[in-house]
């Protein structure tokens, strides 16, 4: 029973929370409807005021008409008494008493009607002022709500753009990290290959100029220059010998 009671309480709380959320989400719509209801009530109050004012006017007309009749009866009573007709004066006085009684009741009703008219007029005036102020406040609230919705939309778009930018930057950083890792793997593989074979040693020997079979442009050029140098030296050495032979041939013979 205790669990069932708690479940009922939970359902009531959930219903209240759901209802409150619905009210909050539709606050402006509800407020507009309440203002329409208040306006309709004000219209009915004006109609009621019109009826009361009409009743007061009719009551006043009735009182005025009775006042004329009462004045007439008063003259009749005075005339009958002047002629000494007590019986006639009594009969007219009876009529006048009835009219005075009705007049007192109508005047009391008229006073109550007039008081109701005054009170209702004041209420209507107060309600109109309140509604006017409420409409101004509602216009302000609606304008503020529109501005806040626009600001919220802008903020949401900016937040979405910032989120997308952040996601793009994260993706870029991940790509860079993968590329750096790939480069490191390639370099490690090359270093491993060099250290496991003769590649590193050969590079060191070649750098020292000790590798056989290796040639470069300077060596090739030197090889081509060597035969030419030898030919030049040979030619330079034979030229004096030829000159000496010619000198010997030109010496005169002594026996001639």
CATH of the domain at 149: 1.10.287
Burial code (b: 16+ CB inside 10 Å, e: under 16) for 212-229 equals eeeeeeeeeeeeeeeeee
Tell me the pLDDT band of 157, cut-offs 50, 70 and 90: confident
More confident residue, 104 or 227: 104
pLDDT at 106: 92
**Selected residue with higher pLDDT from 48 and 171:** 48
Distance CA 67, CA 189 (A): 128
Per-residue confidence at 167, pLDDT binned at 50, 70, 90? confident
Residue 210 lies in a domain: no
pLDDT tens-digit readout, 189-240: 777 766 655 556 666 666 666 655 545 666 667 777 776 665 555 555 555 5
Report the half-sphere exposure of 42 (CA within 13 A, side-chain side).
17
**What's the pLDDT score for residue 211?**
57
Residue 256: the pLDDT is 39
Residue 84, in any domain of the structure: yes
pLDDT in tens, 90-102: 999 999 999 999 9
Interatomic CA distance for residues 238 and 48, integer angstroms:
153
Q: What is the mean pLDDT of residues 54-71?
A: 92
Residue 171 lies in a domain: no
How far apart CA 136 and CA 152 sit, in angstroms, is 24
Global confidence as pTM: 0.50
Number of domains in the chain: 1
Q: Using one digit for the tens of pLDDT, what is the confidence trace for 15-33?
A: 777 777 776 667 778 888 8
* Residue-averaged pLDDT of the chain: 78
pLDDT at 12 over 90: no
Residue 59, in any domain of the structure = yes
CA 107 – CA 167 distance, rounded (Å): 87
The 3-state secondary structure of the chain, one letter per residue = CHHHHHHHHHHHHHHHHHHHHHHHHCHHHHHHHHHHHHHHHHHHHHHHHHHHHHHHHHHHHHHHHHHHHHHHHHHHHHHHHHCCCHHHHHHHHHHHHHHHHHHHHHHHHHHHHHHHHHHHHHHHHHHHHHHHHHHHHHHHHHHHHHHHHHHHHHHHHHHHHHHHHHHHHHHHHHHHHHHHHHHHHHHHHHHHHHHHCCHHHHHHHHHHCCCCCCCCHHHHHHHHHHHHHHHHHHHHHHHHHHHHHHHHHHCCCCCC
Scan for tokens 């005339």, then name that residue. 79
Q: Is residue 19 part of a domain?
A: no
Predicted confidence at residue 245, as pLDDT, reads 45
- 169 inside domain: no
Confidence of residue 142 (pLDDT cuts 50, 70, 90): confident
> Could you list the residue range(s) of the whole structural domain that residue 113 is in?
35-164
Residue 209 lies in a domain: no
Residue 69 located in a structural domain: yes
pLDDT computed for residue 107 by the predictor: 92
Report the pLDDT averaged over residues 118-128.
92
């Amino acid at each position: 029973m205790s669990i069932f009671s708690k479940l009922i309480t939970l359902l009531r709380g959930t219903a209240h929370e759901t209802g409150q959320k619905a009210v909050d989400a539709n606050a402006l719509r509800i407020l507009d409807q309440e203002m329409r209801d208040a306006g309709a009530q004000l219209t009915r109050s004006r109609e009621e005021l019109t009826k009361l004012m009409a009743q007061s006017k009719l009551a006043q007309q009735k009182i005025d008409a009775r006042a004329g009749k009462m004045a007439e009866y008063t003259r009749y009573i005075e005339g009958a008494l002047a002629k000494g007709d007590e019986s006639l004066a009594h009969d007219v006085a009876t009529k006048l008493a009835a009219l005075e009684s009705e007049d007192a009741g109508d005047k009391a009703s008229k006073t109550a009607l007039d008081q109701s008219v005054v009170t209702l007029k004041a209420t209507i005036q107060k309600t109109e002022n309140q509604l006017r102020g409420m409409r101004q406040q509602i216009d302000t609230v609606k304008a503020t709500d529109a501005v806040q919705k626009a600001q919220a939309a802008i903020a949401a778009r900016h937040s979405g753009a910032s989120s997308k930018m952040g996601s793009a930057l994260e993706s870029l950083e991940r790509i860079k990290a993968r590329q750096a890792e790939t480069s490191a793997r390639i370099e490690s593989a090359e270093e491993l290959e060099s250290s496991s074979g003769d590649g590193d040693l050969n590079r060191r020997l070649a750098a020292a100029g000790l590798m056989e079979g290796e040639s470069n442009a300077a060596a090739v050029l030197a090889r081509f220059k060597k035969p030419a140098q030898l030919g030049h030296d040979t030619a330079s050495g034979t030229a004096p010998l030829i000159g000496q032979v010619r000198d010997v041939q030109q010496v005169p013979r002594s026996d001639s």
